[in-house]
Amino acid sequence: MAARNERMDARIPADVKALLQRAAALQGLTLTEFMLAVTTDAARRVIHEHEIISLSLADSEMFLARMENPPKPNAALRAAAARLRRLQRNRTRRAGG
């Protein structure tokens, strides 16, 4: 079964539409094909940028050093871990197990 295409409408200024039509024509594409290509690429780029964490060499080395030799938990972290254990125990009791 073929995938169903969805419709999407947008109101844009006439000069922007003319610009997009010109760019599409220069690439030998319809306006729809051009819009799909450009917006799909942009969407993937935005998602990629938000999913990937980039670190400098110095930051990478510091991160690895902390992972290999983590600092001892402070009072706030110990308290948070205790709260989490209590919440998990309560949730398990309510679930009957």
Tokens of 93: 């009791």
**pLDDT means per 10 residues in the chain (97 residues)?**
83 97 98 96 95 93 95 95 94 80
Whose tokens are 């948070």? That residue is 80
Task: Tell me: do 62 and 97 sit in the same domain.
Answer: yes
Q: What is the pLDDT of residue 93?
A: 85
Question: 78 in a domain, yes or no?
Answer: yes
Q: Quick check: is 7 in a domain? A: no
* Cβ atoms of 62 and 55 closer than 8 Å: no
What range does the domain containing 91 cover? 55-97
Q: In this structure, is residue 4 part of a structural domain?
A: no
Q: What pLDDT score was predicted for residue 69?
A: 95
59 and 46: one domain?
Answer: no
Looking at the structure of the chain, the number of domains it has is 2
Residue 1 lies in a domain: no
Give the pLDDT confidence score for residue 1 in this predicted structure.
61
Nearest to 55 by CA among 45, 65, 63, 47: 63
